[in-house]
Amino acid sequence: MSSIEDAIQQLETSASKLKQLSVEESRAIRDAVKEATKEATTKVKAEYKEKKAQARKEARDAEKSIKDAQARIQKALGSEKSSSTGGQRAKRGEREAQFVAYVKENPGSKLADIARGIGVQNSAANGLAKKAVAAGKVKKSAEKTYKVA
């Protein structure tokens, strides 16, 4: 082989080595970046995990303080909610008698006024009104007011 061919061969070998070294360097850099990113991410997550836990604890404490304050205010105002979910059920016919008595005392009352007066919801008063009208105890006018029959 001639010295030129040897030089070309040497150049090709060197170029191949340089290419291989560049590839290895790129891989090493990529792996180092990956590892550094993992470490940094882990460190930051751990740091913020503690901060988030502290913030959640503070929020729970604040919520508890607010609830306690609400309870104290309700107690001070005497508006403590009773443990009962409602009143006792009326005996059969009692509400209808109350309906008729209210209409007798307040002729010309509208259904909403009667419901408020005897302490029932409008839907319940509507059922009472239908029964009382059907029984002939009260009359309903065109203006939707009630009077005793």
97-132 tens-digit pLDDT: 999 999 999 999 999 999 999 989 999 999 999 999
Residue 141 in contact with residue 109, Cβ under 8 Å?
Answer: no
Answer yes or no: is 51 within a domain.
Answer: yes
Amino acid at 134: A
Question: Which pLDDT tens digit goes with each residue over 28-85?
Answer: 999 999 999 999 999 999 989 989 999 999 999 999 999 999 999 988 888 655 555 6
Answer yes or no: is 87 within a domain.
Answer: no
Number of structural domains the chain divides into: 2
Q: Check whether residue 98 and residue 70 sit in a common domain.
A: no
Question: Which pLDDT tens digit goes with each residue over 7-19?
Answer: 899 999 999 999 9
State pTM to two decimals.
0.42
Answer yes or no: is 132 within a domain.
Answer: yes
Q: Check whether residue 119 and residue 143 sit in a common domain.
A: yes
| Domain end position, chosen among 26, 56, 81 | 81
Provide the token pair at 74.
């309700």
Q: Check whether residue 63 and residue 103 sit in a common domain.
A: no
Which range of residues forms the domain containing residue 8?
A: 1-81
Distance separating alpha carbons of residues 25 and 20, to the nearest angstrom = 9
Question: Which pLDDT tens digit goes with each residue over 69-88?
Answer: 999 998 888 865 555 566 78
CATH of the domain at 128: 1.10.10.10
